[in-house]
Amino acid sequence: MRGLHLCSLLLSAVPLVPAQEFQELQKKTSEFTLPNGLHFIVLERHEAPVVSFHTWVNVGSIHDPAGGTGIAHMFEHLALKGTETIGSRNWPEEKKALDAVEEAYDRLEAEANKGVKADRARVDLLRSQLRVATDSAQRLAASGEYLRLIEENGGANLSAATSTSATQYSYSLPSNRTELWFLLESQRLTHPVFREFYKERDGALEEYRQRVEANPQSRALAELMSGAFRAHAYGHPTWGWPSDIPNLRRTHAQAFFDRYYVPGNITIAIVGDVTTADVKRLAERYFGPMAAKPLPPLAATEEPAQNGPRNLTLEMPTQPFTLIGYKRPSQYDKDDLTLDLIQILLSQGRTGLLYDDLVRDKRLAQQAAAVATVPDGCYPNLFVFLLIPAQGHTVEENQRALEDLLQRLKSAPVDAQLLARAKAQGRANLMRRIAGNRELAAMLASQSANYGDWRKLFTSLDDLNRLKGEDVQRAATRYFVATGRTTVYSVPPGQSNAPPAPKPAERRPGGPQ
């Protein structure tokens, strides 16, 4: 998903795909849907005996229930724990042990939920019994067996990730191990086990501490999201609130799985040395038995209109910096691609206007970056700027310089040469990504799941080429406005008075500056 890492805009070092091959890829792509609703996209690439598999589930942290934030993210941790037949020393006994853990947990919760009337000695006893039950179940788990099986068969680039709106699983195998993937993935999705749930729950809480609490920019981003989104679930951290995570239960995971991990909510893309006929045969054999179920409801809560700037201060013992987020529409809006183009214009490495202006010429910033879509594009989201002042300069100076730059975009159509260069960079970015099977599978799954048609991937270059300087000017004028702006200031401890928001740049006589 776009916009998840503010500073991870590097391109993968792979050769470009020639434009004519780009069109050939579309011709080699096909799709089919099983009767239960599970959708497959297949792109045959026979240059090397390797296949990449990408499973996309339309569920992420925005679907977390109230009081249960972090449950969607738990599936990232549980993905490689195995099945009933893989990862267990004795499944019938392990199942009994896992059920005993839940029974012990139920007793503990029943007593603890009495609040001030709870018997503390009994709570301690029940907590001890829970630890004994958990240890008994742990001894029956063959930890790492599922992952070892994949690696021993040549598996590579294994990944499980949860974002705000999707959960994705992917890896590559030699093409003569294609059926192994079908066996493993179908069992994982048909008969989930959720072993070692509480061990992984502790790991998820530690991950939150390391990725958010111990990382100044991540803390600031979490503050930005919660400040900008007061109703929509984009305001919740993907990892869940730290007060919710310790209360997650294996039974909660099962209920969440039953609701969201239904065939019609899953898209699978397969790219590499396979044939569509073989994929369809294996899909029918392994995934066909999955029962069709109703699709889960869409997220219904909408963010109310923001009618003025919001300024937030975060005290941290780090170099001052600022995050600025402007409200923008979803990926389904006609301006979505224009905003992507603005990101390239502003922040494409050392050729972007932010680097030229704030870092190289004025030397105000140590780092200046822009991300067009944060946290993802499924709903109205944020266009985010990160400004880290250079030594001897302030966030206020950097904000004023940013406002000056944005005002230039608003005042006149962007220079034709700059626009052509940005379009060329956008094309190069896409060509680099589709050069490898793994990225291409991810993009096909994403386009199909988000837009209902994987072909949008192959029409995006034509859409990009049609953009004009006037489109950039119009989008900048419409979205980079104070009423839709939320700003987070990092300040040293004890200095919580937020800097004043910068005044809009003034137009000088003689036209745009």
Assess if residue 2 is contained within a domain: no
List the structure tokens of 237: 């951290």
Assess if residue 501 is contained within a domain: no
Q: What is the pLDDT of residue 10?
A: 28
Residue 113 is part of which domain span? 89-140
425 CB-near residues (< 8 Å, 6+ apart): 344, 348, 351
* pLDDT band per the 50, 70, 90 thresholds, residue 497: low
- How far is Cα 41 from Cα 396, in angstroms, rounded to an integer? 49
- How far is Cα 479 from Cα 208, in angstroms, rounded to an integer? 32
Could you tell me which of 200, 192, 194, 214 has the C-alpha nearest to residue 245? 200
Pair (43, 135) in one structural domain: no
Q: What is the pLDDT of residue 19?
A: 58
Pair (418, 280) in one structural domain: no
Contact by Cβ (8 Å): 30, 42 = yes
Could you tell me which of 331, 349, 320 has the C-alpha nearest to residue 421? 349
Pair (93, 225) in one structural domain: no
User: What is the DSSP annotation of 379-392?
Assistant: SSEEEEEEEEEPTT
Final residue in a domain of this structure, among 231, 251, 286: 286
- How far is Cα 25 from Cα 160, in angstroms, rounded to an integer? 26
- How far is Cα 126 from Cα 109, in angstroms, rounded to an integer? 9
Which CATH number belongs to the domain containing residue 341 in this structure? 3.30.830.10
| Virtual torsion, Cα 224, 226, 230, 236, nearest 10 deg | 140
Contact by Cβ (8 Å): 181, 53 = yes
Pair (110, 152) in one structural domain: no
Query: Between β-strands 266-272 and 39-44, what pairing exists: parallel, antiparallel or unpaired?
Result: parallel
Pair (159, 43) in one structural domain: yes
Pair (208, 319) in one structural domain: no
CA angle 445, 446, 451 (to 5 degrees): 110
User: What is the DSSP annotation of 251-280?
Assistant: HHHHHHHHHH--GGGEEEEEEES--HHHHH
List the structure tokens of 127: 């907590």
Contact by Cβ (8 Å): 103, 142 = no
| Total number of domains constituting the chain | 3
Final residue in a domain of this structure, among 111, 140, 169: 140
Pair (367, 479) in one structural domain: yes
Q: Is the pLDDT of residue 309 over 50?
A: yes
Q: Is the pLDDT of residue 139 over 70?
A: yes
**AA identity, residue 312:** L
Pair (426, 457) in one structural domain: yes
Final residue in a domain of this structure, among 286, 320, 353: 286
pLDDT in tens, 189-245: 999 999 999 999 999 999 899 888 889 999 999 999 999 999 999 999 999 999 999
Burial (CB count within 10 angstroms: exposed 0-12, middle 13-18, buried 19+), residue 497 = exposed
Assess if residue 279 is contained within a domain: yes
Claim: this prediction has a pTM higher than 0.85? yes
**Bridge partners, 172 (sequence order):** 52, 156
Pair (429, 465) in one structural domain: yes
Q: Is the pLDDT of residue 8 over 50?
A: no
Q: What is the pLDDT of residue 351?
A: 78
Helix boundaries (H) for 15-142: 19-27, 71-78, 91-112, 120-139
